[in-house]
Amino acid sequence: MLSVTFLGTSAARPTVERNVSAVALVREGETLLFECGEGTQRQMMRYGVSFALSEIFFTHFHADHFLGVIGLIRTLGLQARAEPIMLYGPHGAKKVLTQAIQLGVERIPFQVEIREVKPGEVLGQRAAGNVQRDSYEIHVFKTEHGGGSVGYALREHERRGRFDVEKARAAGIPEGPLWGKLSKGEPIELADGRKLTAESFVGPKRPGRAIVFTGDTRPCASVVDAALGADLLIHEATFGEEERDRGC
Ligand SMILES: [Zn+2]
């Protein structure tokens, strides 16, 4: 299960109905947040995005992309969070995000780690909080928006084949843990003594999905490369064609 929730689609200025930048990606029960514009925590509540997230990814540090982290971190503190949270961003992340985290007089009761990333870097396996990054990677790539902005591509490893529910039912396998075992490719034994292997119930392996996320950027070759073959490309556009000169 993979879902993408657009929490902010109004670029740099909010409207009554739409907020500034933020996208939540939920995959296998894990929530990743990309950007955290002002008011993102309210959008998370509104659209049912879990606060039990462990990682936030920033593409650059224009205020419309990160101001929301100030309030979100406070709310997590008020919720008595104990698990650390990891914030990723390009060069400047340490300075800007440290200032954001320290703004105000509250003490943050959990660890906030800030990691600066570079284009070409691959964020691989990591097991912390609710993150179990063992079946996908996040590739960092260059975008063109000044100040060393980056984009992120979530690339899944090859996935298990699809479990054929109808076939399992027809074979009289009771729904529950046995379905789970078969779908993972493990053999099972039924109460009546029948021994079954997974092959006849699980389809061929499937290619991993790729979700590519850029913040603001001029059209550039690195985004095209990153987005090649992607299932979904999410990018931002602040200025319409009539304001082209302001945008470039
Ligand atoms: Zn920007």
pLDDT band at 37 (very low <50, low <70, confident <90, very high): very high
Residue 238: closest CA among 42, 64, 23 = 64
Cα(190) to centroid of ligand 1, in Å? 58
Mean pLDDT for all residues in the chain: 91
Cα(240) to centroid of ligand 1, in Å? 14
Cα(65) to centroid of ligand 1, in Å? 7
Domains in the chain with CATH codes: 2-159+207-247 (3.60.15.10), 165-200 (no CATH)
Cα(133) to centroid of ligand 1, in Å? 28
Mean pLDDT value of segment 167-192? 91
The amino acid sitting at 49 is V
Pairing mode, if any, of strands 210-213 and 232-234? parallel
Catalytic residue numbers read: 64
Cα(199) to centroid of ligand 1, in Å? 50
Mean pLDDT value of segment 208-235? 94
Identify whether the C-beta of residue 182 lies closer than 8 Å to the C-beta of residue 173.
Answer: yes
User: pLDDT tens digits, residue range 121-162?
Assistant: 999 877 555 566 888 999 999 999 977 899 999 999 998 899
**Please, which residues have CB within 8 angstroms of residue 23's CB and are 6 or more apart in sequence?**
4, 5, 6, 7, 8, 33, 34, 35, 213, 234
